[in-house]
């Protein structure tokens, strides 16, 4: 007896959309790929230089301004190691000190940077020039305790250590475990080290809550210098790292953009050359004011070569960041197909209105895979 043939109708199911193409999506880059729909951090940029316009002189009370923070409409700073444990609220127009708040329960061992979230201000007490500190910490202060009339406040400690540091022999300015830069993002503190040894920066994260932690190493990249400050803009779309090179006094700012979430090392990295330290002093403080404007502060320099007073600088970065149109590029819709007839008994004709690569599945009426096809 002849076997009967059974023809199961098949139904086209659109199972996947056009394949995303990764590449450099920044039109300012030398390797910009207009066909790329997903940024992969590969962008390369031409040499970029900028002036650093002075905004105000800073008083002698903050002549060692080492960290900057703009939060709640106020600008805060502090001095470097060996100074009193004091936060200074500064007028961003005149540079004058408006308020001083003493942190009463912790000293300033080596305060280096400031960060904030919605409820707290974070003080990075993690400066480590000799590389021998075992008491690295971030101090957390409630914003509610920093009101306009406050003169003292207490802090909670976030203690941490580096998972890859095993040698604590003092080696002043000859190691990779100094740190002067961090910011807050997604419930964590993101630290960028000041590597005296190899002029790279190592990126670590720690929880933004009191306790004792082993920092999580995320990676590193070559900054060709010493990172002294970091900041993330209010939109979380651009990060900046400030620094200098001790050999020649060159000052720089790295702009990180085009990343997803907190993938800062996967960002496009554009280096902005700023004036030499002989002109602007040792740049130590950095904070975003809005999406694309930053403040910078310097420590005073006074030696037999040059004298540079402490200043507050302001710089707009929009000219060197990806354009708004590119950043807001709409996602491509899912692939569309035309199938005739659908369902089909024997032959199914599938057409696609574009030649872009796409794939689809053909299922029978029982939901079983009958065919997997790719076009383009």
Domain residues of the chain, as ranges?
Answer: 10-27+32-37+330-375, 44-324
Given a cut of 50, whether residue 331 has pLDDT beyond it is no
Given a cut of 60, whether residue 196 has pLDDT beyond it is yes
Predicted TM-score (pTM) of this structure: 0.82
Measured from the Cβ of residue 8, the count of other Cβ atoms closer than 10 Å reads: 13
Evaluate whether 346 touches 8 at the Cβ level (below 8 Å).
no
* Fold of the domain built from segment(s) 44-324: Neuraminidase (2.120.10)
Alpha-carbon distance of 115 to 99, in angstroms, equals 18
**Percent share of the chain, pLDDT over 90:** 77
Question: Mind listing the pLDDT tens digit for each residue in 157-179?
Answer: 999 999 999 999 999 999 999 99
Question: Mind listing the pLDDT tens digit for each residue in 198-240?
Answer: 999 999 999 999 999 999 999 999 999 999 999 999 999 999 9
Question: Mind listing the pLDDT tens digit for each residue in 54-85?
Answer: 999 999 999 999 999 999 999 999 999 999 99
Given a cut of 70, whether residue 375 has pLDDT beyond it is no
CA 273 to chain centre: 18
Mean local confidence (pLDDT), 86-91: 99
**Percent share of the chain, pLDDT over 70:** 81
Evaluate whether 234 touches 290 at the Cβ level (below 8 Å).
yes
Stretch among 110-119, 315-324, 364-373 having the lowest mean pLDDT: 364-373
Given a cut of 80, whether residue 336 has pLDDT beyond it is no
Mean local confidence (pLDDT), 333-338: 50
Given a cut of 70, whether residue 296 has pLDDT beyond it is yes
Q: What is the pLDDT of residue 305?
A: 83
Given a cut of 70, whether residue 328 has pLDDT beyond it is no
Mean local confidence (pLDDT), 26-33: 95
Q: What is the pLDDT of residue 42?
A: 96
Mean local confidence (pLDDT), 19-30: 89
Question: Mind listing the pLDDT tens digit for each residue in 198-208?
Answer: 999 999 999 99
Q: What is the pLDDT of residue 212?
A: 99
Closest by alpha carbon to 376, among 18, 12, 20, 15?
18
Given a cut of 70, whether residue 273 has pLDDT beyond it is yes
CA 20 to chain centre: 25
Mean local confidence (pLDDT), 21-36: 94
Could you tell me which residues are beta bridge partners of residue 227? Answer: 243
Q: What is the pLDDT of residue 323?
A: 73
Question: Mind listing the pLDDT tens digit for each residue in 147-161?
Answer: 999 999 999 999 999
Stretch among 12-16, 82-86, 284-288, 336-340 having the lowest mean pLDDT: 12-16
Which residues 6+ apart lie within 8 Å of 149 measured at CB?
Answer: none
Evaluate whether 310 touches 301 at the Cβ level (below 8 Å).
no
- Report CA-CA distances (Å) from 164 to 31, 182, 187, 376: 35, 19, 23, 48
Closest by alpha carbon to 217, among 158, 263, 162, 176?
162
């Amino acid at each position: 007896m002849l076997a009967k043939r059974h023809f199961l109708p098949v139904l086209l199911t659109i199972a996947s959309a056009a394949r995303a193409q990764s590449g450099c999506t920044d039109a300012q880059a030398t390797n910009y790929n207009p066909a790329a729909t997903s940024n992969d951090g590969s962008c390369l940029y031409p040499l970029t230089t900028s002036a650093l316009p002075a905004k105000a002189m800073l008083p002698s009370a903050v002549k060692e301004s080492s960290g900057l923070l703009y939060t709640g409409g106020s600008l805060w700073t502090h001095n470097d190691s060996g100074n009193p444990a004091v936060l200074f609220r500064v007028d961003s127009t005149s540079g004058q000190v408006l308020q001083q708040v003493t942190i009463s329960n912790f000293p300033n061992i080596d305060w280096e940077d400031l960060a904030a979230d919605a409820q707290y201000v974070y003080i990075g007490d993690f400066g480590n020039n000799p590389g021998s500190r075992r008491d690295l910490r971030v101090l957390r202060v409630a914003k509610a305790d920093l009101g306009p009339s406050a003169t003292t406040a207490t802090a909670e400690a976030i203690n941490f250590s580096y998972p890859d540091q095993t040698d604590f022999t003092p080696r002043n300015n000859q190691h990779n475990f100094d740190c002067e830069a961090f910011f807050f993002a997604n419930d964590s503190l993101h630290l960028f080290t000041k590597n005296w040894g190899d002029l790279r920066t190592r990126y670590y994260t720690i929880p933004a809550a009191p306790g004792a932690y082993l920092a999580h190493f995320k990676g590193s990249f070559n900054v060709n210098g010493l990172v002294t400050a970091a900041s993330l803009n209010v939109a979380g779309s651009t990060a900046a790292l400030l620094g200098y090179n001790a050999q020649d006094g060159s000052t720089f700012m790295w702009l990180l953009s085009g990343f997803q979430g907190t993938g800062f090392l996967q960002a496009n990295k554009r280096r902005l050359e700023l004036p030499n330290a002989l002109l602007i002093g040792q740049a130590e403080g950095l904070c975003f004011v809005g999406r694309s404007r930053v403040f910078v502060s310097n420590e005073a320099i006074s030696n037999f070569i040059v004298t540079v007073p402490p200043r507050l600088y302001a710089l707009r970065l929009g000219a060197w960041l990806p354009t708004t149109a590119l950043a807001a590029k709409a996602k491509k819709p899912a692939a569309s197909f035309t199938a005739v007839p659908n369902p089909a008994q024997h032959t199914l004709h599938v057409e696609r209105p574009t030649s872009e690569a796409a794939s689809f599945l053909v299922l029978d009426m029982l939901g079983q895979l009958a065919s997997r096809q790719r076009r383009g």
